[in-house]
Structure 1
Amino acid sequence: MERSLESENTRKKLKSTSKYIYQTLFLNGENSDIKICALGEEWNLHKIYLCQSGYFSSMFSGSWKESSMNVIELEIPDQNIDVEALQVAFGSLYRDDVLINPSRVVALLAAACMLQLDGLIQQCGETMKETITAQTVCGYYNSAGTYGLDSVKKKCLEWLLNNLMTHQSVGLFKELSINLMKQLISSSNLFVLQVEMDVYTALKKWMFLQLVPSWNGSFKQVLTEADAWFAERRREFGGDVAFLESAQGSAFVPVFAHLRLQYIISDLASARIVERDALLPSEWLSSVYKQQWFAMLRAEQDNDIGPQEINKEELEGNSMRCGRKLAKDGDYCWRWTGFNFGLDLLVTYTNRYIIFKRNTLNQPCSGSVSLQPRRSIAFRLRLASFDCSGKMICSRTTGYQILTLEKDQEQIVMNLDSRLLTFPLYICCNFLYTSPEKRADSEAQLDHLES
């Protein structure tokens, strides 16, 4: 008992010593041996404390003229640094704990980087990772790039891949740069809700807000406004030029080029919208129509039963991305729309199981159904829950797998029985319905035709 009281008293004493140092030496500037001037402010500080900073340590130990000066004028080349950030950064040299306000973290990170305060830089990074939201993610991503915090950049990218389709807002879409959007749209880890057409619709809204940043309505109105704005451009072009081929649209080509168009034109209503919008160059669409036509002929006449092995590169680059939100626990059954080469896949969530069923004849279907004895599909199923700020609470994945199903066969693909699940639950899938065409054969044919 005596020992614990003694350690408590020591802690109190240490705490009060630290407080005393901060108050008398930093805030009051007692026994100061150097004055730092910056941004119109002055700080009476101490060389022995300033030497914890790599910046000042080099300054005082080297042959800089400042090493013998008692008053130093600091040049502040970084516009992110303000007086308040410098106050906290200097103060951190006199105390153990710094409470970082998330709204001030970028300014403080800038000051910490300039002064080479490694501990403070790390603490800023941790604060950023903990406070990523729709409002902060783009600012944090850009700052992490500027100041070399790769782990923060990676975390922001992860947040956006998980939340882009569920946390859409006018503010976020205005902030998302072309380069960042390109990274998101090209990734097979993008959590897509519901289908690829929804990615196209999101890009249309985003491009409109990039081009008309002064627009300030509610997010519900964006699509109507975007459609009207692009219709006006179509009238100006006279219908011969796709918007992405225009001077205004060309900057967005690298982003739209990563849409997986084969899964948009496989649905009639979606294909009609894309044709009507005339955003995409007609060659893009005609080559995809041709590719899908050959895939269909292979499935019908070559009896392509689907992928036989996991080709990760093919799955990463060309898989169908689709997803679903389950608001609360219960029984659900659904299919993702589109022509899937006669493989009608029903997905069921029931009793904490996720089940895939190949429907041939026992359930109605809007498209044609393959009666081949066996069909294979390559897939990856991911499941996740998020808190209100979009931070992942729990996740599970099957990894990439091949599943071979006979007519009307069903298969449990994930068992969640032992898990404590948090709703809403997001289910995201990557699918490949046909085996990749033998590239060498098709390229040889093309060479023959050209010669």
Structure 2
Amino acid sequence: MFSDVLLKALGMDWELHRPFLQKSEELTQLLKISEDPKAQKYFRSPVSETLDNYIIKSNFYSNEYKESNLKPMTVEPTDDDDQAKSLDHPAHISEKRVGSLSVIHLHIDDPLVTQRAMAIALGNLYHDDLDVDLSDVAGVLAAAAALGFKQLMEGCGTIMLKSINYRTVCQYHLAASKYHQEHVVLACERWLELNLIPELSMHIQLREMSSELLQKILKSSRLFTYNEFSVYRNLSYWLFLQLNPQMQLMPSHSTVLSYFNSLPKTCSFLETDDGQIYAPLFSSVRLHGIIDATNIQDMRIMNIIPQSWMVNLLSQHYLALQEGGDMTSLKQFNVSAVRQGFIVDDEPHYHSEILSLHGFHFELRAIRQDTENHTYQFYMQRLKPGDPILSFRQCERHTFSMRPDREVCYSITVQYLHKGEHHMETTGTISHKFGLGEKTSKSQVISIDNLKKPIYVSYSLMFPPS
């Protein structure tokens, strides 16, 4: 069977077959208002081979279509053949054809719809089973949307859900948002909430995140981060990549530090005309939770945030030390609590980290209790001065409060992804007086069965006025 429909789109002529176009709402409507078939002269581009490959897979056309499309076609010369043609004329790159066809025109003004993506989308009109490679899926979704090919759009969404990673997440989120694939948008955002800091921030694809999406993820209560400086560091890298689009590899920390330090020192970057638009992003950082002197020194050298922000940060630290740890300027736990987290993704049955804040030190623990049922317990415990788990530097150089008890608002949150679905368990916000005795030094224990690795564990705490 020879083609009986000629689609003109994206500067190309696409040979199609009327019975298979019913899956496309847009092409079906165009056919209804098209003129009767008549002799047409048109051109076949090399890109048409992509479409041919998909059509040939259809049992109905496997022999006849293949033979007719691989056979060279000749046409009688016409008067206009001798006329001069511009360099971009199809005659310079395409094979000339003639046939009796209905001609339809589809205007597409979408940079995501490439000729290859359109060829793949049109080719899938001929098959019940989806045939799309991962590398093409975002573009094919765009082409399917232009064609009104709902079955293909749903199929692309399914492929995306199964292949979200640091290479694809930003591209998928952009395409899914534009073409109303809300389940894909949600899955991408859930992935970013867990993996923005530990994974995407280590790769050049970080530059693909829009500022709007980045701010949304940073403000999410589900965001996983190792600590508050990790959020600042991620933002500074993202900003560096926006300002240096020629970079092809992820920069080192010293490169980012040197770049921002080389900028004029008359004011901070966020106070410049070019930097003001990024201020809302950096206001998402919980600066009061950055307490390591080395990290604060790096922030001072970079000179990204205003001097007034740095002064406020140091003032809060000083006042908290003077007031026995009280964080009097912080009111809302969900947006102010200091966070620290780790990922359980290896064999050891025990994970421990130290969180130090304003003279109080806590051990954050994750313990595997049952190998068969994948049961883990999570809790935190206040440490005494000189506790064996503390390093020599922590014992010798860090401040220790001798208060017998310290009221703490805290939460423990455990998250993981399984078969593309997000799971979260949390203690919620709890208030507890942590003492130095065995009975009072320990938080509530959260025990969870059937956990799937990697496990993202977050501890958040805040010291209310006492």
Same fold at TM > 0.5 = yes
Equivalent residues in 2 for 1:67-216 (5 A)?
Answer: 70-167=102-199, 168-193=201-226, 195-216=227-248
Rounded to whole Å, the distance in 2 between the matches of 1:110 and 1:305 is 51
Where does residue 43 of structure 1 map in the other structure? 15
Conserved 8 A contact 1:382-1:398: yes
Q: Which amino acid aligns with 1:102?
A: L
- How many Å separate the matches in 2 of 1:211 and 1:156? 25
Say which is worse superposed, 112-121 or 352-361, in terms of deviation: 352-361
The Cα shift of 1:412 comes to: 4.6
What secondary structure sits across from 1:122 in the alignment?
Answer: helix
| Structure 1 vs Structure 2 CA RMSD | 3.1
8 Å Cα contact 2:405/2:434 also seen in 1: yes
Q: Among 299, 310, 325, which residue is 1:285 paired with?
A: 310
Counterpart contact for 1:134–1:172, Cα < 8 Å: yes
Deviations 1:29-53 (A, max 9, x none): 4xx4x3333342332311x542332
Letter in 1 for 2:252: V
CA distance in 1, matches of 2:152, 2:415: 36
What are the ranges of 5 or more consecutive residues in structure 2 without an aligned counterpart? 38-101, 370-375
Residues 247 and 262 from structure 1, CA distance in 2 versus in 1: closer, same or farther, beyond 3 angstroms?
Answer: same
CA contact (8 A) 2:35 2:103 kept: no
1:263 aligns with 2:282: no
Q: What SS class does the counterpart of residue 258 from structure 1 fall into?
A: coil
Retained in 1: the 8 A contact 2:141–2:156? Answer: yes
8 Å CA contact 2:257, 2:301 repeated in 1: no
Q: Does 1:58 align with 2:29?
A: yes
Residue 144 of structure 1, CA deviation? 1.6
SS in 2 for 1:104: helix
- Distance change in 2, residues 1:35/1:277 (3 Å): closer
Question: Structure 1 residue 225 and structure 2 residue 255: aligned?
Answer: yes
C-alpha distance 74-367 of structure 1, shift in aligned 2 (>3 A): same
Query: 1:304 and 1:201 mapped to 2: Cα distance?
Result: 24
Query: How big is each residue's C-alpha offset from its partner over 1:288-330, in whole Å with a ceiling of 9 and x where there is no partner?
Result: 4444555555556xx89999xxx9xx23321222212344323
Higher normalized helix content (fraction of residues): 1
1:397 maps to which of 383, 403, 425: 425
Return closer, same or farther for 1:411/1:336 CA change in 2, 3 Å cut-off.
closer
Structure-2 residue corresponding to 1:355: 379
Question: Residues 348 and 72 from structure 1, CA distance in 2 versus in 1: closer, same or farther, beyond 3 angstroms?
Answer: closer
Shift of 1:210: 1.5
The 5 Å alignment of 1:227-242 reads: 227-233=257-263, 237=264, 239-242=265-268
Answer whether contact 1:378 1:401 (CA < 8 A) is retained. yes
- Residues of 2 paired with 1:53 and 1:121: CA distance? 11
Q: Deviation per CA, 1:364-404, whole angstroms, max 9, x where unpaired? A: 65322252445232213224378xxxx86885422413041
Task: Kindly provide the CA deviation profile for residues 203-251 of structure 1, in whole angstroms up to 9, marking residues without a partner as x.
Answer: 222222221122334x4x5211111112211xxx2x3311221233333
Change (3 A) 1:97 1:402: same
Unpaired stretches in structure 1, ≥5 consecutive residues: 1-23, 438-451
SS at match of 1:90: helix
- 1:305 and 1:229 map into 2 onto residues whose CA distance is 36
Return the alpha-carbon distance in structure 2 between the equivalents of residues 306 and 282 of structure 1.
Answer: 19
Structure 1 distance, partners of 2:281, 2:175, is 22
2:361 and 2:118 map into 1 onto residues whose CA distance is 62
Alignment match, 1:323: 341
Distance 1:247 1:348, change over 3 A: same
Compute the displacement of 1:163 (Å): 1.0
Amino acid at match of 1:329: P
Distance 2:306 2:379 in 1: 39
Q: Secondary structure of 1:121's partner?
A: helix
Amino acid at match of 1:347: L
TM value normalised by structure 1 = 0.74
Tell me if 1:430 matches 2:460: yes
Report if the CA contact (8 A) 2:416-2:451 is conserved: no
Contact 2:408 2:462 in 1 (8 A): no
From the two aligned structures, give the one with the greater strand fraction. 2
- State the TM-score, normalized to the length of structure 2: 0.72
Q: What is the letter of the counterpart of residue 139 of structure 1?
A: Q
| Alpha-carbon distance in structure 2 between the residues aligned to 1:36 and 1:374 | 73
Name the amino acid aligned to 1:271. I
Offset at residue 192 of structure 1 (A): 0.5
Q: Matched residues in 2 for 1:384 and 1:110: separation?
A: 31
Aligned partners of 1:178 and 1:255 also within 8 Å: yes
CA contact (8 A) 1:358 1:406 kept: yes
Going from structure 1 to structure 2, the CA distance change for 1:113 and 1:216 (only over 3 Å counts) comes to closer
CA contact under 8 A between 1:356 and 1:410: conserved in structure 2?
yes
Q: 2:31·2:104 contact (CA, 8 Å) conserved in 1? A: no
Task: Measure how far apart 1:258 and its partner are.
Answer: 0.9
- Write the distance in 2 (CA, Å) between the matches of 1:169 and 1:316: 27
Whether the aligned pair in 2 keeps the contact of 1:53 and 1:117 (CA below 8 Å) is yes
